[in-house]
Amino acid sequence: MHALKTGLIRPAFILLIAILIGLSGCTRTPQEFKNKILAFGTIVDITLYDVSEEQAKKAIQSIEADLKYMHYAYHPWKQGPMGRVNMLLAMNSSFTANPILVDLISQAKELSIKSQGLFNPAIGKLVALWGFHQDERPPDPPPEAAQIEKLLAELPGMQSIAIDNFNMNNTHPQLKLDLGGIAKGYALDMIMQTLPSFNIQNAIINAGGDLKAIGNHGDRPWRVGIRNPRGKGVIASLNVKPGESVFTSGDYERFFNHAGRRYHHILDPRSGYPAEGLVSVTVVHHNAATADAASTALFVAGEKWPEIASAMGVQDVMVIDAQGRTQFTPSMHKRVDFIVAPKEVIERKLP
Ligand code: AMP
Ligand code: MG
C-alpha cells in the first residue's frame, strides 16, 4: 500500500514541478532597459526590450561610444575626419577620403540630387555665414544681403564631388560640406545594424525626437509622439513598424530672433535665407538617412513638398504649414492619431 502511494505521488510531484517550471517560463515578463546619453548635441533615449541586464549594459556602452565617435567624425567644423575631408575637398584635386565618411557622403550626394538640390549639404559656407555652425550662435544680426548674394552667385552642389571607391575629387572652389541635415539619420541606421550582434531584436533609439526602431514593444508596435512645433508636448502619435525611422525638421529647433523676425537653421539654397512656408515636416521611412535628408529637403520645398517627396521616394509625410494647417500624404493621414485637435487638415497626394 505504502509502496503504491509513493509510486503514484512521485510522478505526480515531478509533473507538477515541470508544469510550474513551464508556467514560469511562459509568464516571464520581458525586461525593458532605458538609458539616456548625450550625443549629437541632444539627449538620446535608448529603449531595449526583452533583453538581459548584461546584454543591455554591453549594448548601451557600445551605442554610446559609437554615437559619440560618429558625432565627432561627421562634425564639419572640428578637426576630426570631416574637418580633414573638407580641407582636402577645398584643394580641388583627387584624394583618398577617410573610409568612415565615404558611404555617408555618397548617400548625401544621391539624396541631394534626388531632392533637386533643396537638400544641399555642399552649402557649408552659407551655414557658417548665418552662424548656425556653432553650438551656440552668437547674438549677431543676420548676415548682410551682399554677403549672401556673393555666395549665391557661385553656389556649390553635390554634383561637383566625384566619388570613386575611396577617391574623391571636388571641382567647385566654394564647396564645403555640412552634413548636419543627414548625419544623425545615417548614424541611427549604423547603430541599429549593430544591435542584433548583442542579441537585441526590439529597440528604439530616439535622438531628440528623431528616431529609429527595430522589432516591437512586446505584443504592440513602438508608439511615438510628434512634437508640437509651437507649444509644449506632442500634437499627435503614431505606431512605428519594425525597421522604420521617423525624422522631423522644424523651424523651432535652432533659431534666433532679430527685429521681430525668426531666423532658423534650415536654409533655402535658392534664396540664401531660412526657408519659408512650413513650420515642421515629419517623414517616416525605413532608411533613417533618407528620412533625415527628406525632412530637410521637404522643409525647404515649402508648398511644393509633395513633388520632392515623390522624387526622393518617401510616402509617409506630415507637414505643419505657416498657417497652422496640417498637411498629410494619404498614407500618413491613416496612421497618425491626433492628441491636440488640428486647425485644418489637408490631404496631398504625391504626383
Ligand atoms: P535638419 O534638422 O535635419 O533639418 O538639418 C538642419 C541642418 O542641416 C542645419 O543645422 C544645417 O547644418 C544643415 N542645413 C541647413 N540647410 C540645409 C539644406 N538646405 N540642405 C542641407 N543641409 C542643410
Ligand atoms: Mg534632416
Residue type, 186: Y
Q: Is 209 in the pocket of ligand 1 (CB under 6 A)?
A: no
Residue type, 78: K
Q: Residue holding cell 526583452? A: 50
Pocket test for ligand 1, best of 266, 281, 290 (most atoms within 8 A of CB): 266
Q: Whose CA is nearest to atom 2 of ligand 1?
A: 249
Task: Supply 119's cell numbers.
Answer: 537638400
Cα(261) to centroid(ligand 2), Å: 23
Residue-wise DSSP of 243-300: T-EEEEEETTSSEEEETTEEEES-B-TTTSSB--SEEEEEEEESSHHHHHHHHHHHHH
In this structure, how many other beta carbons lie within 10 angstroms of the beta carbon of residue 204? 23
pLDDT in tens, 98-151: 999 999 999 999 999 999 999 999 999 999 999 998 878 888 899 999 999 999
Distance CA 250, CA 227 (A): 10
Cα(267) to centroid(ligand 1), Å: 7
Task: Supply 21's cell numbers.
Answer: 517550471
For 157-186, give the secondary structure using H, E and C. Answer: CHHHEEEECCEEEECCCCCECCHHHCHHHH
Cβ distance 350 to 315 under 8 Å?
yes
**Model's pTM, two decimal places?**
0.92
pLDDT in tens, 315-349: 999 999 999 999 999 999 999 999 999 999 999 99
Cα(298) to centroid(ligand 1), Å: 11
pLDDT over threshold 50, residue 6: no
What is the predicted pLDDT for the residue at 272? 98
- pLDDT band at residue 3 under the 50/70/90 scheme: very low
pLDDT in tens, 23-81: 555 556 889 999 999 998 899 999 999 999 999 999 999 999 999 999 999 998 888 99
Residue-wise DSSP of 36-88: EEEETTEEEEEEEES--HHHHHHHHHHHHHHHHHHHHHH-TTSSSHHHHHHHH
Give the end-to-end CA distance of the chain in Å, rounded to a whole number: 86
- pLDDT band at residue 1 under the 50/70/90 scheme: very low
φ/ψ of 282, rounded to 5, equals -115, 130
The pLDDT of 222-237, averaged and rounded, is: 94
Q: Is 156 in the pocket of ligand 1 (CB under 6 A)?
A: no
